[in-house]
Amino acid sequence: MVHFDMRIRFKNYKYDFRIASLALEESTKIDLLENNLSVIYADDEKITLYPEETVLSDEQSDLAEIKQYNNYDVFEIWGNGTLIRRYNDNSNDNYFFITGACNSNCIMCPSPDISRKNATPTNISDLILLAKHIPIDTPHLTITGGEPFLIGDKIFEFFKFLKEKFEQTEFLVLTNGRIFAVERYVQLFKENLPNNLIVAIPLHASYEELHDSITRSKNSFNQTKLGIKNLLKNNIRVEIRLVVNKLNVNDFENIADLIINQFNGIEYVSVIAMEMTGNALANKEKVWLPYKETFSLIGNAIKNMVKNSIDVKLYNFPLCTVDSSFWTLCEKSISPNKVRYATTCDDCKYRSVCGGVFAGTFKFEEDELRAIL
């Protein structure tokens, strides 16, 4: 669920794949076992798997490493004993990855073509088991892909479980929204969605030809528009995402007009600077535009949306690339493991509140960054 970080391999593990929660204290272990969950318990002497009470390791190096994690973190344990964290109880950046497959192939997507072509869906029963281990009071969870809804109707079994367990958790569903052009899927979704959920859908242009050339998928513009309208009609909260690139930057004012005139009731608009990996990197000559230049071309569109009472957020733009009058819209949106700052940023008095730059984008932007003194 979270990014791959440290990995431990337990040589004494003799079981099949499983999911287990971590306990670093006796009280946490008791709490987890009372909920009938598998537990990895680390005391001062050894690491033990419950309920089997199998000692996985008594090596001090393994103990030192696992104690860098948190109570209630959730892990996969592979058949060879490798431990992979899937939920970080000390983070709001946890997610369920449904599938890498997608029915679009966006020219500026940070994922590469191969991840879509070779994608296999995550087993729904494994996702539900993972969700069973996650604490009921977790504040935020994201559901993402690829395109999550490509796995078909079985995804609604997963949503139903989330709805029944997590009454207070905020959910964000990342989707291209095309599935919601089909009324049947809108109704299935409405019946099973958790209480506090927002659907985030990218809109790439104000007209079919440009949008479909960016998604490289015929009729995606019309499906996306209809999908957004169907969700709004059913009082489902929608975030529209605008990923700015060289291909659509000059259409930005028209995109803003389209949102203002046709999508009444959206939750907010997120204006997103590209992450230059995957397809985006492969097509850099077609899509890359420096952030300062990008912002100089979209400022009026943002002002127009704000003037029309649309909440706008700016993602992935360092503060020095944005006019100071827009700083209140900027979010610190890049995951800690992906964010980078230039040497010049060390002298910036706003570094602590600046979102920085994606690691994959850093070489494109490094010379553009300036300390704000």
Tens digit of each residue's pLDDT (9 = 90 or more) over 290-299: 999 999 999 9
pTM for the whole structure: 0.94
The pLDDT of 327-350, averaged and rounded, is 93
Answer whether residue 1 shows pLDDT above 50: no
Tokens of 269: 């608009």
Phi/psi of residue 55, nearest 5 degrees: -75, 120
Tokens of 319: 């503060």
pLDDT of residue 5: 57
- How much of the chain, in percent, has pLDDT values that exceed 70? 98
Sheet containing 39-42, strands listed edge to edge, beginning at the edge strand earlier in sequence:
8-9, 82-87, 74-77, 18-23, 39-42, 47-50, 54-57
Predicted confidence band at 115 (pLDDT cuts at 50, 70, 90)?
confident
The pLDDT of 332-350, averaged and rounded, is 92
Predicted confidence band at 117 (pLDDT cuts at 50, 70, 90)?
confident
Answer whether residue 4 shows pLDDT above 80: no
Predicted confidence band at 121 (pLDDT cuts at 50, 70, 90)?
confident
Answer whether residue 75 shows pLDDT above 90: yes
Residue 263 DSSP code:
-
Q: Mapped to the 3 state alphabet, what secondary structure does 147-214 carry?
A: CHHHHHHHHHHHHHHHHHHCCCCEEEEECCCHHHHCHHHHHHHHHHCCCEEEEEEECCCCCHHHHHHH
Sequence length of the chain is 373
Residue 141 is inside which H or E element, if any? strand 140-144
How do beta strands 54-57 and 74-77 pair? Answer: unpaired
The pLDDT of 159-168, averaged and rounded, is 97
Q: What angle do CA 127, 69, 43 make, to 5 degrees?
A: 110
Tokens of 22: 């971590």
CA end-to-end span of the chain = 38
Predicted confidence band at 2 (pLDDT cuts at 50, 70, 90)?
very low
pLDDT of residue 30: 97
